[in-house]
């Protein structure tokens, strides 16, 4: 009825988060219809029954302001707390690295504060517009990844930033493009495999084996959340594992195969690629359960990765197994929050972005810890929010900021304030 429609419009005029207007109208209409039917049963005509229903539900301005408070776009507190905890532990890990790390910690602290501020502001950004540009982001991401491999032709320091932006655009493009596909069409399934496999194979061709492996494993999580049938998902996952594996065997350079051999038998390559795995083993063995104590560390690792991929080793040496478990717990809390919310959002682009972000972080976390413990090959994989890599830190905080936007727009179970539900007896 016009009276009910006008009432709902008046309420929503006070709710700044337009994304929840339809949800609010749908839920409030149910309550209005119940009150309307009660007024009709009491002998009122339709016009008077509609006016009584609106009055009983509450003054539209006051109700709208209360709903605006409930649905205000803000960063999820638990998510932000878990991110802050992980970031603070990252600063502690950097501080415990060998050498004079005060300047590094100060620079990293400034970057962390900027990143956390970005996450707090992020809910104001409508991530859906960005993900809707997948057909532009996908080729742009491939182009940036290609430019990052040009070596000396790229200005010093620019390659890392080009690579980080390329990864960012690729992850965003994957989330948007997979959400747009028709899951019932077989050709769209193969199109999805093409989107996911092309950047991985391209990185292998450019001898970027580690990033290719990380993206390949991340793509498995995205495919699992995309909404295809179980048979298609299993077939796609096998393809995304086997295709890069075959490509690696065909395209791998001799030094890459030598590194793989050193992982399998580090003692036989102690003077070459086996040196770092053996030193990492010594670090962990000397730390024990409670560690040697902060500041009691000796460095036998190459300086190139000391503050990046190897940074966990001296931390575990000084804090022991206990310190490593605390760091793992903090990372698990953060990733768990991302993954649970991704499942709650079904198969939309926001869910895919959360799943892809969680998988991207989880693969790097597991790989780095497995590398330090000797379970995985040693390669340049840093810890998210821990390793000192400005370009990757920018990528990590940008992905988390977009994830915070998804969390802020996640459906909430109730649209009607508790005060109104209690006041009129309707749930």
What pLDDT is stored for residue 302 in this prediction? Answer: 67
What pLDDT is stored for residue 405 in this prediction? Answer: 85
Mean pLDDT of 363-380: 88
Segments forming the whole domain that contains residue 35: 2-71+413-424
- pLDDT band at residue 111 under the 50/70/90 scheme: very high
| Inter-residue contact 318 to 295 (CB < 8 Å) | yes
Does the structure show a pLDDT above 70 at 74?
Answer: yes
Does the structure show a pLDDT above 80 at 106?
Answer: yes
User: Is the same domain home to 62 and 116?
Assistant: no
User: Is the same domain home to 108 and 252?
Assistant: yes
User: Is the same domain home to 144 and 43?
Assistant: no
- pLDDT band at residue 2 under the 50/70/90 scheme: confident
| Domain tally, the chain | 2
User: Is the same domain home to 322 and 399?
Assistant: yes
Does the structure show a pLDDT above 50 at 414?
Answer: no
Does the structure show a pLDDT above 70 at 394?
Answer: yes
Does the structure show a pLDDT above 60 at 129?
Answer: yes
The position carrying tokens 């991704």 is 342
User: Is the same domain home to 33 and 155?
Assistant: no
What pLDDT is stored for residue 406 in this prediction? Answer: 84
Indicate the pTM of the whole model. 0.82
Does the structure show a pLDDT above 90 at 312?
Answer: no
What pLDDT is stored for residue 330 in this prediction? Answer: 93
- pLDDT band at residue 49 under the 50/70/90 scheme: confident
Does the structure show a pLDDT above 60 at 45?
Answer: yes
Does the structure show a pLDDT above 60 at 426?
Answer: no
Q: pLDDT tens digits, residue range 267-296?
A: 888 888 888 888 888 877 788 888 888 888
Does the structure show a pLDDT above 80 at 299?
Answer: no
Mean pLDDT of 33-37: 88
Q: Please report, rounded to a whole number, the percentage of residues in the chain having pLDDT higher than 70.
A: 92
Spatial neighbors of 161 by CB under 8 A, at least 6 apart, are 391, 394
User: Is the same domain home to 99 and 50?
Assistant: no
What pLDDT is stored for residue 422 in this prediction? Answer: 43
User: Is the same domain home to 11 and 123?
Assistant: no
User: Is the same domain home to 274 and 259?
Assistant: yes
What pLDDT is stored for residue 419 in this prediction? Answer: 47
On average, the pLDDT of the chain sits at 85
Does the structure show a pLDDT above 80 at 354?
Answer: yes
The position carrying tokens 């790390």 is 101
User: Is the same domain home to 67 and 87?
Assistant: no
User: Is the same domain home to 179 and 208?
Assistant: yes
- pLDDT band at residue 344 under the 50/70/90 scheme: low
What pLDDT is stored for residue 40 in this prediction? Answer: 86
Does the structure show a pLDDT above 90 at 411?
Answer: no
Mean pLDDT of 214-218: 93
C-alpha 386/C-alpha 104 separation (Å) is 12
More confident residue, 61 or 16: 61
User: Is the same domain home to 39 and 99?
Assistant: no
Mean pLDDT of 16-27: 81
User: Is the same domain home to 304 and 386?
Assistant: yes
What pLDDT is stored for residue 342 in this prediction? Answer: 66
């Amino acid at each position: 009825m016009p009276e009910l429609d006008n009432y709902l419009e008046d309420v929503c005029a006070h709710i700044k988060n337009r994304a929840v207007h339809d949800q609010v109208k749908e839920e409030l209409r149910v309550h209005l219809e119940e009150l309307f039917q009660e007024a009709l049963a009491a002998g009122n005509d339709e016009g008077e029954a509609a006016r009584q229903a609106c009055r009983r539900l509450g003054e539209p301005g006051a109700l709208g302001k209360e709903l605006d408070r409930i649905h205000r776009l803000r960063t999820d507190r638990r998510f932000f707390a878990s991110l802050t905890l992980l970031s603070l532990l990252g600063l502690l890990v950097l501080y415990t690295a060998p050498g004079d790390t005060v300047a590094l910690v100060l620079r990293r602290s400034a970057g962390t504060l900027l990143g956390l501020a970005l996450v707090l502001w992020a809910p104001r950004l409508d991530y859906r517009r960005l993900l809707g540009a997948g057909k532009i982001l996908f080729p742009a991401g491939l182009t940036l990844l290609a430019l990052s491999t040009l070596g000396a032709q790229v200005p010093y320091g620019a390659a890392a930033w080009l690579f980080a932006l390329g990864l960012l655009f690729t992850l965003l493009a994957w989330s948007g493009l997979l959400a747009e596909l028709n899951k019932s069409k077989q050709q769209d399934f193969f199109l999805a495999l093409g989107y996911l496999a092309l950047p991985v194979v391209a990185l292998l061709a450019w001898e970027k084996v580690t990033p290719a492996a990380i993206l390949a494993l991340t793509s498995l999580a995205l495919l699992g959340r995309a909404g295809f049938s179980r048979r298609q998902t299993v077939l796609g996952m096998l393809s995304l594992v086997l295709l890069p594996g075959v490509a690696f065997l065909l395209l791998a350079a001799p030094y890459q195969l030598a590194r793989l051999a050193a992982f399998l038998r580090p003692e036989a390559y102690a003077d070459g690629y086996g040196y770092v795995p053996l030193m990492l083993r010594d670090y962990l063995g000397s730390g024990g359960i409670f560690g040697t104590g902060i500041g009691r560390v000796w460095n036998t690792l190459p300086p190139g990765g000391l503050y990046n991929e190897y940074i966990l080793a001296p931390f575990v040496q000084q804090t022991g197994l206990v310190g490593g478990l605390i760091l793992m717990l903090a990372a698990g809390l953060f990733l768990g929050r991302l993954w649970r919310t991704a499942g709650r959002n079904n198969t939309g682009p926001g869910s895919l972005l959360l799943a892809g972000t969680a998988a991207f972080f989880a693969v790097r976390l597991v790989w780095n810890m497995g590398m330090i413990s000797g379970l995985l090959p040693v390669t340049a994989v840093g810890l998210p929010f821990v390793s000192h890599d400005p370009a990757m830190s920018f990528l990590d905080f940008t992905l988390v900021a977009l994830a915070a936007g998804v969390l802020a727009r996640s459906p909430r179970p109730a649209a009607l304030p508790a005060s109104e539900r209690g006041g009129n007896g309707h749930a």
